Structure 1
Amino acid sequence: MEERKHLVASGDLIQAHTWKGLLEQSGIHVELRGEALLGGMGELPTQLHPVELWVGDAQCLQAQAILKALEVESPPWQCVQCHELNAGSFELCWQCSAERSESHNSPSGQC
C-alpha cells in the first residue's frame, strides 16, 4: 500500500470537498480524514478539528501544484498546549514550539 501524505486542512467541509473534486478531476486519488468527527464537535469551532486532505506520496507534488495555482493554504490552527493561534503554514506553535495537533497523525508532514 502506498504511503499517504497530509496535503492541506480546511475547517470548511464544503471547501474540502471542492478541493477533493478538483484534484480527482486531475486523476489524483484524495482521502478526506476527520469528516465524520465534525458532527461530534458540537458548539466547538471547526478550526479545532479541520477536515484533512491526504494524497498518495507519488501524487503529492502534483496535488500541491494544483492547489497552489488556486492559492489554497491551510487555515490557521490553535495550539493544543498554549492555545495560541498559528498560521496554517506553521508545523510548530510559534509560542511554545508544540507540534501541530494533526501532525501527530501525519507520517511525514507536508509533501
Structure 2
Amino acid sequence: MGCGAETSWEQTFYDPIELSDGRMLRSLRDAGHVIQELPKRTQNRPEWPAAVGALLLVVECNGDPMLTRIGIMRALNTAEPMEPAVPRRKRALKSGANGDTPILTGADSGASAVP
C-alpha cells in the first residue's frame, strides 16, 4: 500500500479475539493465520475480504489494530443467523357507542384489568 511505515505483524490487539473453538487471536499474525485457514467459500464472503483489507492496512501502515479487530468481529458475527423479525400487528379500531369515536381494543389499548 505504500504508507512508508515499518511493517509489523507482531502488533497485538488490546482485547484478544476469542474464537468459537477456544483459540485466541492475540496479534495481527494470529489473525492472518486464522483467515488463511478458512475455507475458500468462507473467505469469499463479503465480510472477510473487508477484514483482510483492514488487516493489511493496519500492518502496512502501522495503524491501530482496533480497525482489524472490528473487521474480524463483524466477519465472525455475520455467520450467526439473525433472529427473524416478529411482524407487528396493528391495533384494531372499534366504533364508539355513538358510532363516530374510535375505541382502541386489544392488549395495546391501555385499559386496565384491575376492577
**TM-score (norm. length: structure 2):** 0.28
Relative to its length, the structure with more strand (as a share) is: 1
**TM-score (norm. length: structure 1):** 0.29
Q: Say which one has the larger Rg.
A: 2
